A and B are shown apart, each in its own frame.
Chain A
């Protein structure tokens, strides 16, 4: 066996404190919620806490309501990720051009990203508001609608509208990730393709798109993880409503845990969501590694 050097021992000593803190703030809650998910914990009966094994998981997975929220989460995430990819690509392509005012525009585009999530939620709540909302105001003044619409009250519109607010906040980061990828494409490649006889749109498909692939995968991975676990907007805008139309998994976990005070099933649901997110990320990373 190799001897441990002095440097390594010093490094271990220095790292030990950090590792201890990390364990306390991350590993402990993670393990503790795993532990809880194996018990029937209900704060309405705090003294009784029987061990139930995987019963919580079985209950969650066999509940049609849970699968309904899984479907809505998937729909919301697919909508959001697809739109973010398209819009962020367009924004990145725009910002990659040289034009006067480019710097100012790039700075402005960062604003949504800089806004705290809760502030973003409240802002969209105000925009969508049926009485004094900016959206109704705008559409009424432009004459697109005759009377004020209760935007979030329509169960067919709820998910797309929340997705819209989510997209608005997420596009800047995605656009910057893609812009970095665009900037890394050597200009000579475009020159070579032009000289080879490729008009602009051909150059886009032959060079820009393939070069953006790692960027697309990174954005998809990151945004899918964000969307699947997103909670703030559902909490601030609709509280899962109307009639469960925006009842996604993250919202359901909150309701189960903090309204029904059923910590055991809430924790089990969290674990199911976490594992699903991990599996999804793993699949995406595998895909990424294969295409790079």
Chain B
């Protein structure tokens, strides 16, 4: 059982680099929280501070109501899966998994039972006598998971645990990790730079950049109501289309204007900026109907992508990437029109990058 709280936590490394600045974060007990952001944004540093592997320069870290700043790693009830797996090279798989239990003086019969249980769940029971060097990447990853699992820790940390696996294994391991979370009564903090992984796994996502939090929210919040341009463009693949333009009120309605393009905006947006950026996800366009706002352009490229096709559409000097069903007949060089769903539009202040969506 552990609720984890960061209170204005800053981490400066010995060389003076500030890896995390003024972090405030409240992680609920047994939550699955994902730290998401590009490489170097401070995710691992944040995780290592929870584990006790990095000292906290300023601020406080609390587990429930206990300040943890000065509690050494080996006294925190934390288990961690490292990106490198960090298996003990001189120990067998069995001893790797058992090590944490031995350190806690778990009696031998119970230790054996717990190691065997974990090994069975992870389907590595037949590998227990091997050395880590005799395992494949996927098997090592399972051993690393097993080593953390058997501990039944109150805090379960994972630092990009799937990033060294091949794509298909990565997808199937996501399900296993979700399953693990459901079975255990631990608080999960999971680090990744893979937005798809974050969206599938998380109860809540924390998007980070340059050591600061950009947005905290459910996967839906983050994807559908990004707080700023960075979050909007970090999530989604292919990336969101961003169109620069200006705001104008036409006939009492707030409109986005760019050249000949006018998009009436829903009431959920504030009009207190002039220079703005309109965000449109590739999948958020439909057939042009008379009711909906529309966008017109010229098809530049059409690329089939399995069930769908991707279109590059030139609109007012910008190129939009859109995903449309395969049965939409298009020809390169021909004009095309789409209907927009108002609720799917995103609007940002061009100077600050912040979303202009009103607080719900």
Q: Which residue numbers of A lie inside 8 Å of B, CB to CB?
A: 98, 186, 188-189, 191-199, 202, 206-207, 210-211
Contact = CB atoms under 8 A, between A and B. Distances in A.
Interface stretch (B76-84, B196-204, B247-255, B297-305): B76-84
B81 to A, nearest CB: 9
Contacts of A194: 51-53, 72-74
A103 B80 CA distance: 34
Nearest to A209: B90
B99 A196 contact: yes
Contact of B53 (A195, A207, A210): A195
Contacts of B126: none
Interface string B151-174: 100000100000000000000000
Given A196-B151, A197-B103, A198-B103, A191 B88 contact: no
A148 B87 CA distance: 58
Given A188-B82, A211-B90, A195 B73 contact: yes
Interface of B: 14, 48, 51-53, 72-76, 78-80, 82-84, 86-91, 99-100, 103-104, 147, 151, 157
29 contacts: A98-B14, A186-B86, A188-B84, A189-B86, A191-B73, A191-B82, A192-B82, A192-B87, A194-B51, A194-B52, A195-B51, A195-B53, A195-B73, A195-B74, A195-B78, A195-B79, A195-B100, A195-B157, A196-B74, A196-B79, A196-B100, A197-B74, A197-B75, A197-B100, A197-B104, A198-B99, A199-B72, A206-B88, A211-B90
B74 A191 contact: no
B60 to A, nearest CB: 21
A211 B80 CA distance: 22
Contacts of A197: 74-75, 100, 103-104
A188 B48 CA distance: 11
Tell me the dominant secondary structure on chain B's binding face: loop
A207 B88 CA distance: 7
A199 B52 CA distance: 12
Given A207-B88, A211-B90, A193 B99 contact: yes
Contacts of B88: 189, 192-193, 206-207
A196 B104 CA distance: 9
Given A195-B78, A198-B103, 20 more contacts: A98-B14, A188-B84, A189-B86, A189-B89, A191-B51, A192-B80, A193-B88, A194-B51, A195-B51, A195-B53, A195-B157, A196-B74, A196-B79, A196-B100, A196-B151, A197-B74, A197-B104, A199-B74, A206-B88, A206-B99
B86 A192 contact: yes
Nearest to A192: B86
A195 B89 CA distance: 17
Contacts of B14: 98
B78 to A, nearest CB: 6
A211 B90 CA distance: 8
Contacts of B73: 191, 194-195
Given A195-B78, A202-B103, A188 B90 contact: no
Contacts of A210: 89-90
